[in-house]
């Protein structure tokens, strides 16, 4: 009977260790993904700034364009929920 308890404790420790390893591995992977996403975002920001500069050089008033865009209502796609609504 005492041996059964020890075997059960070892099994629980093994399961716990496996779960810990799984979660640590997941966090390591997600950290790398977040770093890559941040790098991609940085590149997109640089490209956007380049285009904004070129448009300004061509005489386009982006503030006026933004005001115009905000005045026109946007349609919500059918069946599409915001992430906040889903969570």
Q: Residue 1 — very low, low, confident or very high, per pLDDT cuts 50/70/90?
A: low
Residue 75 — φ and ψ, nearest 5°?
-85, 140
Does pLDDT of 70 surpass 90? no
pLDDT digits (tens, 9 = 90+) for 5-28: 666 677 788 898 999 999 999 999
Q: Residue 71 — very low, low, confident or very high, per pLDDT cuts 50/70/90?
A: confident
Q: Sign (positive/negative) of CA torsion 55, 60, 61, 64?
A: negative
pLDDT digits (tens, 9 = 90+) for 23-69: 999 999 999 999 999 999 999 999 999 999 999 999 998 888 888 88
């Amino acid at each position: 009977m005492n041996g059964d308890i020890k075997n059960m404790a070892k099994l629980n420790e093994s399961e716990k260790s496996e779960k810990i390893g799984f979660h640590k591995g997941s966090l390591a992977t997600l950290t790398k993904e977040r770093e890559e996403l941040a790098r991609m975002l940085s590149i997109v920001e640089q490209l956007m700034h380049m285009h904004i500069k070129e448009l300004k050089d061509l005489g386009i008033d982006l503030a006026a364009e933004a005001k115009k865009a905000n005045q026109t209502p946007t349609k919500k796609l059918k069946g599409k929920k915001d992430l906040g609504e889903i969570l």
